[in-house]
Amino acid sequence: MIESLHTIINKSRDLGAVFSEARYLKRDLTRLISQNNEFSEIKTGIIQGLGVRVIVNGRYGFAATSSESSLEQMVRQAIAIAKARTDPQGISIPEMPSHQESISASVSKDPADYSIEEKMNMLRNAEAAMQGKNVSSTRAIYQDFADVRGFVNSAGTELIIKDAKTEFIATTVVKEDGQLSPGVAFVSGTGGMEILEKKPPEDIARKALAEACDLMGAPVVPGGSSRVVLDHELVGLLAHEAVGHTAEADWMESGSFLKGKLGQKEASELITLVDAPAVNNASGWCIFDDEGTRGREIRIIENGIVNDFMNNLELAERLSLEPSGNARAWSYQDIPIIRMRNTFIKSGDFSFEELIADTKNGFFLVGAEGGQADKNGEFMFGTRKALEIKNGELSGKAFKGASISGNAFEVLKSVDGIGKDFKMDMGAGYCGKLQPAKVDGGGGMVRCSVLVGGT
């Protein structure tokens, strides 16, 4: 594999590239889905390929192929693209240290050592834990994938990176009087089966069942501006969706809310918001990015002050930032773009009970659904459950959650309490920004004001 990458670099140079990067990816995936105790999908597969990015005449060109026999054709395509461009922008070759390393995500129990039968039994046991009165439908999903990434560039960097992700998702649907009530729970992270040993699928399944039962017959949360306490999943989404995207240097440069705000106070002084290459076994593990840059921790907001931006080599140079290692590509066919990794709000001083007790009236919001953000700071993300807070106590009343929205920085300015328990809890999903990325998010629970889009 490394030889092929060097062949690509050499060929690129021969054809006139002043700089080139060659990447390889092999992704080995296994996925099982069981629904109502019947396996509707069991699949395994391998996707692999190569990509090259070149600089010719101050412009990038990129090409990729799944066929190793087409290496030269791929390089020629990339060179031709760079030459076909007539845009005035000139890319300069970035100054960068070179690295020669081989690193692997920590995996103590390799999923490849477990048979399909063992994985099937795990799902069977999980579905058994979801059985109960009025349960009409259960679904258990297991997935693992292992990536081998190779990277070589003409500056002398040579990297082999092995990543692994394992996850389990449980969904229960309860039915009463013709009405359906779903519940969802998941566990996900970087690593192997040890992730599911720490959080067993049966426990996850029981959590999904409990949620479905809690919300059966519950009304939708009342809408309007509200004081809320966000659980760890939602704090992750706040950090990632509402704030994080505006701090990606490409978004920032093109006019996101944070443009021109370096050094300014745009959040409560309680807020320190970080994007890190690794946090325990969180899903956004990225020690070296797909430009060969070693990742560093970015303190996007420190004590309420805008402090730093996530970047790639091109923007680090243009904006005089220290390279951060945030240039990521989902597959060999994708150009690396600035993506988040593990984004969190640092924990604070409040216990959960204190956060609730200090909230006169509002909601404790639990469970994240999908979210989106615009560059002007306007965000939306979904919540699954809302527990009423009345006079500083959980009243016991549960509502079906609704989407919440606001301007990210007005929300951050409204934060007056952060929980002391830290948890990364957003890893089962993917971020979408023209291509997927495995990310994670979380932090301490947060109390703030948002617009709740209920009835």
Residues 188-247 that bind other proteins (CB under 8 A): 220, 223-225
In the complex, the smallest distance separating the C-beta of residue 100 from other proteins, rounded to whole angstroms, is 27
Interface region with other proteins, contact rule CB under 8 A, candidates 188-196, 228-236, 387-395, 396-404: 396-404
User: Which CB atom, from 138 or from 281, has the smaller least distance to other proteins?
Assistant: 138
Q: Token pair 């899903």 is at which residue? A: 283
Provide CB contacts within 8 A for 433, sequence distance 6+: 245, 337, 339
In the complex, the smallest distance separating the C-beta of residue 451 from other proteins, rounded to whole angstroms, is 5
> Residues 4, 7, 10, 48: which binds other proteins (CB under 8 A)?
48
Interface region with other proteins, contact rule CB under 8 A, candidates 126-134, 254-262, 281-289, 339-347: 254-262
| 264 is an interface residue for other proteins by CB under 8 A | no
H or E element at residue 301: strand 298-302
Q: Using DSSP bridges, classify how beta strands 224-230 and 361-373 pair: parallel, antiparallel or unpaired.
A: parallel
- How far is Cα of residue 264 from the mean position of the Cα atoms in its chain? 27
Residues 286-315 contacting other proteins, CB under 8 A? none
> Residues 64, 228, 242, 445: which binds other proteins (CB under 8 A)?
64
In the complex, the smallest distance separating the C-beta of residue 375 from other proteins, rounded to whole angstroms, is 7
Integer CA distances (angstroms), 96 to 277, 292, 314, 322, 324, in order: 18, 9, 11, 11, 12
Residues 1-30 contacting other proteins, CB under 8 A? 29
In the complex, the smallest distance separating the C-beta of residue 330 from other proteins, rounded to whole angstroms, is 8
Q: Using DSSP bridges, classify how beta strands 224-230 and 273-276 pair: parallel, antiparallel or unpaired.
A: unpaired
Residues 350-389 contacting other proteins, CB under 8 A? 369-370, 372, 374-376, 378, 380-382
User: Which CB atom, from 66 or from 98, has the smaller least distance to other proteins?
Assistant: 66
> Residues 6, 14, 41, 134: which binds other proteins (CB under 8 A)?
41
Q: Token pair 């006079």 is at which residue? A: 391
User: Which CB atom, from 174 or from 418, has the smaller least distance to other proteins?
Assistant: 174
Angle of helix 116-128 versus helix 201-215 axis, rounded to 10: 30
| 106 is an interface residue for other proteins by CB under 8 A | no
| 406 is an interface residue for other proteins by CB under 8 A | yes
User: Which CB atom, from 179 or from 391, has the smaller least distance to other proteins?
Assistant: 179
Residues 172-191 contacting other proteins, CB under 8 A? 173, 175, 178-182
In the complex, the smallest distance separating the C-beta of residue 332 from other proteins, rounded to whole angstroms, is 8
Here's the x/- map for other proteins, 110-149, by CB under 8 A: it reads as -----xxx--x---------------xx-x----------
56: phi > 0 → left, psi -120 to 50 → alpha, else beta; which? beta
Task: For 241-269, give one letter per residue: b (16+ CB within 10 A) or e.
Answer: bbbbbbbbbbbbeeebbbeebeeeebbbe
Provide CB contacts within 8 A for 356, sequence distance 6+: 229, 364, 389, 392, 393, 394
> Residues 43, 318, 360, 390: which binds other proteins (CB under 8 A)?
43
- Residue 348 has a CB neighbour count (10 Å cut-off) of 21
